Chain A
Amino acid sequence: MELFLTSLLNGVTYGLLLFMLSSGLTLIFSMMGVLNFAHASFYMLGAYFGYVISTYVGFAPALVLAPLAVGAIGSLIERYGVRRAHAFGHVAELLFTFGLAFLIEEVVHLVWGKSPVPYKVPAALDGPLFTMFASTFPAYKAFMMAVSVGMLIALYALLTRTRVGLVIQAALSRPDMVEALGHDVPKLFMLVFGGGVGLAALAGVIGGNAFVTEPGMAAAVGTIVFVVVVVGGLGSLTGAFVASLGIGILQTFAVAIDWKVPGFERLTLSQTAPVLPYLIMVLILIARPRGLMGTRES
């Protein structure tokens, strides 16, 4: 029972972290149709920016400034890179973001070196929040969960309850008409891209000190965010949320359960935990290609 509850809590925590990582990708993908391979690299940039800013002016300003700065970089990349590549079709666009990911990693190598940087959790949030059985639950994890839920609510409200959100949604299916009505669609897309990148950076500011800020961190989360988006359903925010929680809980319980895979002497279920999300992705793509809550096929 004790292990069950602790694992459930850990699973929800991990799931919310996954949602935080993938919400920006969902936004960019669902609103613009751009599959951004460099998404995790912006997450990494956010962590490094957060580290630099927090050493000078503190963690709270970094929470705002780092996503803004990275978001601005993202907007510029959209304006002068993605948009041009987009004109040559999806493959060019995909390859562009693919190359961008390598470029960002090399820049991080050059500026901050190959070793991890000492990016620490702020003292105010460092420590236990409550004790459950013998183990404590860290305050910083609760903060991460709150930010993740906040992201979901804010994005949902923005897209469905505000005028800007309606224009963005309209621009997705009928860009010509929206433009004819006097809205600047390219600028809108630039802002959406910047916003999505900013969300990745916010996740980086928060995830960078909870885990380790190093040049390999982008590669470590790069694939899992795509799994979340595909399983959740391309373009569905709620779907991404449900998929994140599901994957988080599933993976955590796979680790917790001592169960040997029959027929394989050394193989336990916990060893297969990291593969499970990919297994689910493959199954979903076979059985329900538009994902759990997706509305369209591509």
Chain B
Amino acid sequence: MATRKNILGAALAVFAFAAPMNAFAQVRIAYIDPLSGAMGATGEHGLRELEFAIEAINAKGGVLGQKMAVVPMDNKLSSQESLNLLKSAIDQGIRFISQGNGSAVAGALIDAINKHNERNPDQAVVYLNYAAVDPDFTNDKCSFWHFRFDANTDMKMAALTDYLKDQKKVSKVYLLNQDYSHGHQVSKVAKAMLAEKRPDVKVVGDELHPLARVKDFAPYIAKIQASGADTVITGNWGTDLSLLVKAAKDANLKADFYTYYGGTVGVPPAMGEAGVDRVKVVSYWSANSMNASGQAVQEAYRKKYGADQDPYSQSIRISAEMLARAMEKAKSTNPVAVAKALEGMKVDGPFGEITMRADDHQLIQPMFVATFVKAGGPLKYSADGTKEYAFRADARVEAAAAARPTTCKMKRP
């Protein structure tokens, strides 16, 4: 009996020891994003692309002899929930955080991480932001611990308005956006940049509608119709975008839609025929403009997840790849060393060279303005979730031209 107890005890001791040993042999990234609720599908998509990138890194042997791993955490799109999850991630010894959906959440995370790192410099945390586009994060509110891999609202609007310079038939613009910080910013920067680049264009409407609560956009379309607008600029995403385009088609509104998120999960299938030749997207992603290495990734992704899938959240894959590279460069997984190695890092992206600008931690990359069209011909890759439609790139803004000046005064440890 005594011996049996001893053996049990020994076994328990080994287990207790072995579990953390295994965990420490990994570089873990906490993925804090909505995995349920209305935005669940968007969060799931990002997670899938992050896991895809990590698998590729691990297949090549991982980093510094360690495997990388993702720890998914569902924040239900709530800032409060995200802060609890951040704390739990830190307690588990995770030093790298990935998040993208919602600038409100991102702002809360940046504040919390700044405070945490100041108080616990030996347990510093690095935050990889793959989609929160509030320009403040790389300007006045910039942080050494935050790195943004998406283009911010200003960069997207700059690319879009540069494109509009040559679109002479655009004369009356209607701004329709969701009533929260992102929508307010799109509306604000659109007015400023249009006034600068196309002073002849009239803004005939500037409307805000509640986020994810409008079922029928017909009343808004009637208003756009009455305003005589020929172009609508919108930062809408999710069902707010697909319902808008559907309502426009039903009422036979002859206006083009310039969007930020026309290519994201659920939108192309919901738009269908209604969006053809009418919906444009400004993005860092253009599936049909990739170089050979980008296409190889695309093929691998489609093989794994289905022939109609589009890995448009390129930013999250790039963030994982650059993180791994920074660890190799620093020869360490220490967050401070890794963050320093990430600063100014240049890599070859699917569309050319991309740079993590050291001044403000904003990724500088080429941008595209693309139109939703029928698939086929030279367009090899269909839009996400469809086989019949694709995005055709109409304009490319080179990385250097897409960069915007920053007001960031970076404080480094």
Chain A positions near chain B (C-beta within 8 angstroms)? 2-3, 6-7, 10-11, 13-14, 17, 109, 113-116, 118, 120, 128, 131, 134-138, 140-141, 211-212, 214-216, 219-221, 251-252, 255-256, 268, 270-271, 273-274
Residue B220 is within 8 A (CB to CB) of chain A in the complex? yes
B251 in contact with A114 (CB, 8 Å): no
Of the candidates A17, A116, A251, A270, the one whose C-beta lies within 8 Å of that of B239 is: A116
6 closest A-B pairs by beta carbon, nearest first, are: A255-B219, A136-B252, A114-B41, A138-B250, A216-B38, A135-B251
Of the candidates B40, B216, B269, the one whose C-beta lies within 8 Å of that of A114 is: B40
Bound Cα distance from A221 to B239, whole angstroms: 14
A212 in contact with B243 (CB, 8 Å): yes
Residue B185 is within 8 A (CB to CB) of chain A in the complex? no
A3 in contact with B210 (CB, 8 Å): no
Bound Cα distance from A271 to B251, whole angstroms: 22
Residue B208 is within 8 A (CB to CB) of chain A in the complex? yes
Residue B385 is within 8 A (CB to CB) of chain A in the complex? yes
A256 in contact with B222 (CB, 8 Å): yes
CB neighbours of B36 from chain A (8 A): 114
Of the candidates B37, B40, B223, B385, the one whose C-beta lies within 8 Å of that of A256 is: B223
Name which residue of chain A comes closest to B219, CB basis.
A255
CB neighbours of B213 from chain A (8 A): 220, 274
Beyond A131-B252, A255-B220, A270-B207, 5 additional contacts (C-beta under 8 Å) are A2-B226, A211-B216, A211-B239, A212-B243, A274-B210
Bound Cα distance from A7 to B251, whole angstroms: 12
Contact with A along B160-198 (1 / 0, CB 8 A): 000000000000000000010000000000000000000
B209 in contact with A136 (CB, 8 Å): no
A195 to chain B, nearest CB (A): 25
> Given A136-B251, A141-B250, A271-B179, are A212 and B219 neighbors across the interface (CB < 8 Å)?
no
Residue B104 is within 8 A (CB to CB) of chain A in the complex? no
Bound Cα distance from A220 to B218, whole angstroms: 17
B225 in contact with A274 (CB, 8 Å): no
> Given A135-B225, A216-B239, are A271 and B210 neighbors across the interface (CB < 8 Å)?
yes
Of the candidates B37, B214, B218, B266, the one whose C-beta lies within 8 Å of that of A10 is: B218
B41 in contact with A10 (CB, 8 Å): no
CB neighbours of B250 from chain A (8 A): 136, 138, 140-141
Of the candidates B207, B223, B269, the one whose C-beta lies within 8 Å of that of A116 is: B269
CB neighbours of A221 from chain B (8 A): 215
Residue B336 is within 8 A (CB to CB) of chain A in the complex? no
B210 in contact with A135 (CB, 8 Å): no
Residue B62 is within 8 A (CB to CB) of chain A in the complex? no
Bound Cα distance from A212 to B270, whole angstroms: 7
Chain B positions near chain A (C-beta within 8 angstroms)? 36-38, 40-41, 44, 179, 207-210, 212-216, 218-223, 225-226, 239, 242-243, 246, 250-253, 265-266, 269-270, 272, 385
Bound Cα distance from A13 to B217, whole angstroms: 12
A179 to chain B, nearest CB (A): 42
CB neighbours of B385 from chain A (8 A): 115, 118
A7 in contact with B252 (CB, 8 Å): no
Q: Please name 21 pairs of A and B residues whose Cβ atoms are closer than 8 Å in the assembled complex, sorted by A.
A: A11-B219, A13-B216, A114-B36, A114-B40, A115-B265, A115-B385, A118-B269, A118-B385, A135-B252, A136-B252, A137-B251, A211-B215, A212-B243, A212-B266, A216-B239, A220-B212, A220-B215, A255-B219, A256-B219, A274-B213, A274-B214
Bound Cα distance from A65 to B383, whole angstroms: 33
A7 in contact with B222 (CB, 8 Å): yes
Bound Cα distance from A48 to B28, whole angstroms: 38
Bound Cα distance from A262 to B253, whole angstroms: 32
B208 in contact with A212 (CB, 8 Å): no
Of the candidates B37, B225, B272, the one whose C-beta lies within 8 Å of that of A6 is: B225
CB neighbours of A11 from chain B (8 A): 219
Of the candidates A114, A212, A270, the one whose C-beta lies within 8 Å of that of B44 is: A114
> Given A135-B222, A255-B220, A271-B208, are A128 and B239 neighbors across the interface (CB < 8 Å)?
no
A271 in contact with B209 (CB, 8 Å): yes
A26 to chain B, nearest CB (A): 19
CB neighbours of A109 from chain B (8 A): 40
> Given A115-B41, A116-B270, are A135 and B219 neighbors across the interface (CB < 8 Å)?
no
B218 in contact with A14 (CB, 8 Å): yes
Bound Cα distance from A216 to B209, whole angstroms: 18
Name which residue of chain B comes closest to A135, CB basis.
B251
Name which residue of chain B comes closest to A127, CB basis.
B250
A219 in contact with B210 (CB, 8 Å): no
Of the candidates A131, A256, A270, the one whose C-beta lies within 8 Å of that of B209 is: A270
CB neighbours of B41 from chain A (8 A): 113-116, 214
B223 in contact with A214 (CB, 8 Å): no
Bound Cα distance from A13 to B216, whole angstroms: 10
> Given A2-B226, A134-B225, A219-B38, are A14 and B251 neighbors across the interface (CB < 8 Å)?
no
Bound Cα distance from A116 to B40, whole angstroms: 11
CB neighbours of B225 from chain A (8 A): 6, 134-135
CB neighbours of A135 from chain B (8 A): 221-222, 225, 251-253
CB neighbours of B207 from chain A (8 A): 270
Bound Cα distance from A4 to B223, whole angstroms: 10
B236 to chain A, nearest CB (A): 13
B239 in contact with A6 (CB, 8 Å): no
CB neighbours of A118 from chain B (8 A): 269-270, 272, 385
Bound Cα distance from A140 to B226, whole angstroms: 23
B209 in contact with A14 (CB, 8 Å): no
Bound Cα distance from A134 to B227, whole angstroms: 12
Name which residue of chain B comes closest to A120, CB basis.
B272
CB neighbours of B218 from chain A (8 A): 10, 13-14, 252
B382 to chain A, nearest CB (A): 13
Among A13, A114, A140, A270, the most chain B Cβ lie within 10 Å of the Cβ of: A114
Name which residue of chain B comes closest to A141, CB basis.
B250
CB neighbours of B252 from chain A (8 A): 128, 131, 134-136
Name which residue of chain B comes closest to A11, CB basis.
B219
B102 to chain A, nearest CB (A): 16
